[in-house]
């Protein structure tokens, strides 16, 4: 871990002490505040964090992200205590569909397989055949029998991206990310005018017409890999701006420009250093998934963890 300008030594030592006391590991999503990323034992996208949660030896996982991520960790690590430092850190996209609505879709399309984006509740995962992240959604769908119809929930934009890449017939639920859809064509045109030689990296949660303006459509984990292996030195970043901290840290020789300063997820930013400390001190807020739901959701998650994305 590197010291951070907003993290003084006594604070870092305090967190290290608490982590030891609790036998805890801190996981942080790439959209977290810079100081939370710097404090984390592991930063990553949903797939990377899911894998890390499933293999850690720690007794306590402090999940710096949003609720569905902590639920995923709790499902994959039933013997561990999973803490979400702010209990109100949710995901509006995940809340756009519930289990009853998935059951209704299944009744309307009885032959279809259900693929749910990991950005969904445990109850929705329990109703699904497969889970996926933005890193492996294309591979998960490609692995399904070609003659089966597919229901994809809840993100219509990631779903459309998968349809475009695979040519598969899919029923898309009309959910969306309230942060990524704020990125507009105008934002991208303006950024390109300001930085004409920069490569536009965009997340597939962005909306459809705008995606045509991207040079690369990538999950956050894939963005980090792409930049690491690229000769280019200037990038326009069209996703939640938290990723720019990780990109700059890993690639000090390159320049990164947020496509818009608006691309900030208020839920991801709810986790602060104070809340992280309170979480370790008071063991709060414990995220639990009822065993019946967890075992059904686990099936879909296990299949997701098995399908690694093409690099």
The distance of closest approach from Cβ of residue 6 to ligand SF4 in the complex, given in angstroms and rounded to an integer, is 22
In angstroms, the CA 11 to CA 78 distance is 30
The distance of closest approach from Cβ of residue 211 to ligand SF4 in the complex, given in angstroms and rounded to an integer, is 16
Residue nearer to ligand SF4 on the CB measure, 58 or 271: 271
Helical ranges in the chain per DSSP H: 9-22, 34-39, 46-55, 67-76, 99-108, 122-126, 137-142, 156-166, 185-194, 208-211, 220-228, 243-250, 273-282, 291-306
The distance of closest approach from Cβ of residue 122 to ligand SF4 in the complex, given in angstroms and rounded to an integer, is 15
Please answer whether residues 40 and 64 qualify as being in contact, where contact means their C-beta atoms are separated by less than 8 angstroms: yes
Dihedral (Cα; 229, 37, 26, 87), 10-degree rounding: -130
The distance of closest approach from Cβ of residue 185 to ligand SF4 in the complex, given in angstroms and rounded to an integer, is 19
Residue 225's φ and ψ, nearest 5 degrees, are: -65, -45
The distance of closest approach from Cβ of residue 180 to ligand SF4 in the complex, given in angstroms and rounded to an integer, is 6
In angstroms, the CA 145 to CA 133 distance is 19
Residue nearer to ligand SF4 on the CB measure, 154 or 309: 154
Binding residues (CB under 6 A) for ligand SF4: these are 31, 66, 91-93, 119, 177-180, 240, 265, 267-268
Looking from the CA of 73 toward its CB, the CA atoms found within 13 Å total: 33
Residue nearer to ligand SF4 on the CB measure, 66 or 217: 66
Residue nearer to ligand SF4 on the CB measure, 24 or 96: 96
Residue nearer to ligand SF4 on the CB measure, 15 or 265: 265
């Amino acid at each position: 871990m590197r010291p951070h300008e907003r993290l003084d030594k006594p604070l870092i030592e305090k967190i290290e002490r608490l982590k030891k006391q609790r036998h805890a590991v801190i996981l942080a999503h790439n959209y977290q505040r810079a100081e939370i990323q710097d404090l984390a034992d592991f930063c990553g996208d949903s797939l990377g964090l899911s894998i890390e949660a499933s293999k850690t030896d720690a007794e306590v996982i402090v999940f710096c992200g949003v609720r569905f991520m902590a639920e995923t960790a709790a499902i994959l690590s039933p013997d561990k205590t999973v803490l979400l430092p702010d209990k109100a850190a949710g995901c509006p996209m995940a809340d756009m569909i519930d289990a009853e609505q998935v059951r209704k879709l299944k009744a309307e399309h009885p032959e279809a397989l259900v693929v749910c984006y990991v950005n969904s509740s445990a109850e929705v995962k329990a109703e699904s055949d497969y889970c996926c992240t933005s890193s492996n959604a294309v591979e998960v769908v490609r692995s399904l029998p070609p003659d089966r119809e597919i229901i994809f929930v809840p993100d219509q934009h990631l779903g459309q991206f998968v349809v475009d890449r695979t040519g598969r017939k899919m029923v898309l639920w009309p959910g969306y990310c309230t942060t990524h859809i704020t990125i507009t064509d105008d934002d991208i045109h303006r950024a390109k005018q300001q930085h004409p030689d920069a490569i536009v990296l965009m997340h597939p949660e962005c909306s459809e017409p705008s995606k045509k303006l991207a040079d690369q459509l990538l999950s956050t984990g894939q963005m980090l890999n792409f930049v690491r292996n690229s000769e280019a030195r200037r990038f326009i970043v069209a996703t939640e701006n938290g990723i720019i901290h990780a990109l700059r840290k890993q690639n000090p020789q390159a320049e990164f420009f947020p496509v818009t300063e608006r691309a900030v997820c208020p839920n991801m930013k709810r986790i602060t250093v104070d809340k992280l400390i309170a979480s370790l001190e008071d063991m709060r807020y414990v995220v639990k998934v009822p065993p019946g739901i967890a075992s059904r959701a686990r099936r879909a998650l296990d299949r997701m963890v098995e399908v690694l994305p093409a690099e």
